[in-house]
Chains A and B, each alone.
Chain A
Amino acid sequence: MRGKSELKVHLLALAMVIISEYIGIKSFKVGPGTVMLLPMLYALVIGMFLPALRLVDRTDMETASPFIGFSVMYLTAKMGTTIGPSLPKILSAGPALILQEFGNLGTIFFSLPIAVLVFKMGREAVGICFSISREGSLAIVSDLYGLDSPEGRGVMGAYIVGTLFGAIFNGLMVGFLISLGIFHPFALAMACGTGSASMMAASLGPVVAAYPTIQTELSAFAATSQLLTSVDGLYMSLFIAVPITEWLYRKLKGKEAERETPKEGVNQ
């Protein structure tokens, strides 16, 4: 019955892709940012309704789960082909901007303790806290844990939240940080390059508005930092951020962490 289930899953996925892409990208302005609805989000939502419509059963769900890891590889390869051309530019960016990349790791020590100690979250927190959960993070979690693991649910939840509210939230947050006056505008601009184009635009907006006379420098700092993050993001996450998150999670959970079994290396 395996073959029949596989055919059904592929045909359903094809139908979901066609419907989602046909609807296309919809974006609308809300406050300081833009809400962007992407076809991949529709595909996920359609999938959530399939069991209620009795179109898929448990066997189909299990059949579909390894296919996620296969389709993720196209994304990984495509991201690679966009990194290569900008590699020479990166090497000339200078040590200051490259060191600054490590700032992206700071969030682990902030959000993970709150997730584990205050919200009593399980391994979902590992999927959420190591990055800002953009497409590359989906690929990493899918390859390391599988997207149908607790870590996978975490990164997918965070991905949805980020896609819907990331730009708006960043815009508001940066506006607030500017009003505090603790950071130099250059530092703020560099921090805007976190790897997501829509989030960068939304967070750079208020900085440029507050310091219009130096906007050329601000944009250059943000763009270079953005480029660096998009190049090193995958490797930083894979070799530094995920291991640190795993380590801190175990520290925070103590004995409880030993009872949980991470599904590491499912696609190996």
Chain B
Amino acid sequence: MKISFSTALRIFVISGFLALIGNYVGFKVSPLEALPGMLILLVLIIAGEVLTRVSPLKLPSIAYVSLLAIIASVPGVPGAEAVIRYADKVQFLALCTPILAYAGISIGKDLNSFKEQGLKMVVVTLLTFIGTFVGSAAIAQLILKLTGVI
């Protein structure tokens, strides 16, 4: 589904507004205080989306948005300090809640498959935690041995 630029902009502004309200209710940061940070994030998002569409390198927009945000906040880059200071007013967790609110609304149609797969999902998730930790520890052990640290 191709979404027009004006529609995209509208949805970005509305979901940003939800986060701003959540940021106020949950973290007591006044919307006025958090607004510059939200606007900075919005500008980074729009720039990332534009880059996704025009760049010859076909990458998901998440890669471009994140790359731009990293560059904009590396110490020494002009304006980086302001970006960090204002973005700090917007809580990470406040940005997560709108995502799962929309996901919650759209998820109703998938409830049955959640029910069917629930237990398997729990077990496989825990296996993934084991695999991540043990895999990490094994490689760490190997590298520490090879480099003579242990």
Contacts and interface: CB of A to CB of B under 8 A. Distances in A.
A40 B125 contact: no
A173 B48 CA distance: 40
A67 B104 contact: no
A84 B100 contact: no
Nearest to B67: A80
Contacts of A139: 62
A187 B77 CA distance: 35
A35 interface: no
Contact residue range for chain B?
35 or more
Contacts of B63: 234-235, 238
Contact residue range for chain A?
35 or more
Nearest to B137: A191
A115 B77 CA distance: 45
Main secondary structure of the interface of B (DSSP, over half): helix
Interface in A121-159: 121, 124-125, 128-129, 131-133, 135, 138-140, 142-144, 147-148, 150, 153-154, 156-158
**Most chain-B Cβ atoms within 10 A of its Cβ — which of A66, A68, A170?**
A68
Interface in B67-103: 67-75, 77, 80, 83-84, 87, 90, 92-103
A58 to B, nearest CB: 6
**Most chain-B Cβ atoms within 10 A of its Cβ — which of A58, A84, A96?**
A84
Interface in A90-130: 96, 99-100, 102-111, 114-115, 119, 121, 124-125, 128-129
B93 A39 contact: yes
A161 B100 contact: no
Contacts of A133: 125, 128
Interface of A: 9-10, 12-14, 16-18, 20-22, 24-25, 38-41, 43-48, 50-51, 56, 58, 60-62, 64-68, 70-85, 87-88, 96, 99-100, 102-111, 114-115, 119, 121, 124-125, 128-129, 131-133, 135, 138-140, 142-144, 147-148, 150, 153-154, 156-158, 161-162, 165-166, 169-170, 173-174, 177, 183-184, 186-188, 190-192, 194, 199, 203, 225, 234-235, 238, 265-268
Given A14-B21, A166-B129, 6 more contacts: A17-B101, A47-B107, A80-B68, A107-B135, A165-B126, A177-B133
